[in-house]
């Protein structure tokens, strides 16, 4: 999935945190709700202006971001 269609960073919105385009819904809040057990249907009910593709874009963005993290060997 090309998450770039759905996720943006704008310094004027939420201090530049990644958000779902056209909203003030952050990637962080969607991930937090999912980590607390929210399902995609529940998220869509809570945020009826979102769609399933946008939720999947949040997951794709997060995966891409984490894959770029550096790891360090601990002595």
List, for residues 29-40, the tens digit of each pLDDT value: 999 999 999 999
At residue 69, φ and ψ (nearest 5 deg) are: -65, 145
Looking at 1.10.150.390, 1.10.10.10, 3.40.50.1950, 3.20.20.140, the CATH number of the domain 3-67 comes to 1.10.10.10
List, for residues 43-74, the tens digit of each pLDDT value: 999 999 999 999 999 999 999 998 876 666 77
List, for residues 2-41, the tens digit of each pLDDT value: 999 999 999 999 999 999 999 999 999 999 999 999 999 9
DSSP per-residue letters across 24-35: S-BHHHHHHHHH
pTM here is 0.86
């Amino acid at each position: 999935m090309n998450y770039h269609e759905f996720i943006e960073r704008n310094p004027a919105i939420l201090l530049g945190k990644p958000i779902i385009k056209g909203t003030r819904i952050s990637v962080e809040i969607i991930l937090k709700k999912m980590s607390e057990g929210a399902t995609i249907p529940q998220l869509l009910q809570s945020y009826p202006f979102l769609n399933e593709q946008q939720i999947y874009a949040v997951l794709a963005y997060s995966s891409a971001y984490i894959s770029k993290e550096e790891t360090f060997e601990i002595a």
